[in-house]
Amino acid sequence: MQLRQEYMQKKLEESQDKSEVEIMPGDGWFSLELDPDLDKLKPQQRYRRYKNLLKNIPPYDQDDPSQVKNRINSYFHFCNENDIAISPADLAKWLKISSGTLRRWRNGEYRSSTHQKLIEDAWDSIEGDLVNSLRTGAISPPSGIFLLKNWFNYKDVQDLVVAPKNPLGELQNLEELRKRIEGTVIIEEEKE
């Protein structure tokens, strides 16, 4: 904990504009606050500031599940407090890992006993938030559908039922068939 506080203090001192970054240590997690004039920023400016803040996130022990959980919680808290859209790619950046590593953790290919459940829960939260945003009209349907297909493997489904139909209709026995086609089809009889 002492090392983390020293790191955060050093980053604050290195920051050129200290009003943009305020790191507040908390109960095992931290939050980064954007500018107090957040509401005055255009969405693209807000996003750029957020991306710059990602560079100031202190390191943590990725092997410790409790620190991973705290880091995930701090990500959701930060996004909620600063009106930032959540995404798997940004969660990976917040965790200081690649998107591919995040997927491997989620699929249980790596650290399955310690990290898989944490990442699955976060992934489900992101999916739920996206579905809710789509349902309430917060994002456009084409964008939401694209993201659901891209991030969560949603698919367009068309059910095709292949059922052979008899062009002659439903027949109970061969005698009915013979009467129906009598005179229209020439059947040659075999000679013995």
Query: What pLDDT does 127 receive?
Result: 94
Say which range, 110-119, 126-135, 157-166, has the weakest mean pLDDT: 157-166
Is 7 part of any domain? yes
Is 124 part of any domain? yes
Domain that holds residue 123: 2-130
Percent of the chain with pLDDT over 70: 72
Query: What pLDDT does 112 receive?
Result: 78
Is 191 part of any domain? no
Residue 10 has pLDDT above 60, yes or no: no
Is 81 part of any domain? yes
Give 76's Cβ-side CA count (13 Å radius): 15
Is 109 part of any domain? yes
Residues 62-80: pLDDT tens digits? 889 999 999 999 889 888 8
Query: What pLDDT does 53 receive?
Result: 79
Query: What pLDDT does 121 receive?
Result: 93
Is 169 part of any domain? no
Buried b (16+ CB within 10 A) or exposed e, 127-148: bebbeebbeeeebeeeebeebb
Residue 61 has pLDDT above 50, yes or no: yes
Residue 23 has pLDDT above 50, yes or no: no
Average pLDDT over residues 162-174: 71
The angle formed by the CA atoms of residues 144, 76 and 95, to the nearest 5 degrees, is: 100
Query: DSSP string spanning 5-63?
Result: HHHHHHHHHH-S-TTT-EEEE-SS-EEEE--TTGGGS-HHHHHHHHHHHHTTPPP--TT
The candidate with the shortest Cα–Cα distance to 134, out of 118, 117, 154, is 154
Average pLDDT over residues 130-151: 92
Residues 103-112: pLDDT tens digits? 989 988 888 7
Average pLDDT of every residue of the chain:
77
Residue that has been written with the tokens 């990290």 in this structure: 115
Domain count, the chain: 1
Is 74 part of any domain? yes
Is 161 part of any domain? no
Query: DSSP string spanning 99-137?
Result: HHHHHHHHHTSSSTTTTHHHHHHHHHHHHHHHHHHHHHT
> What pLDDT band is residue 31 in, cutting at 50, 70 and 90?
very low
pTM, two decimal places: 0.62
Tokens encoding 93: 């950046």
Residue 167 has pLDDT above 50, yes or no: yes
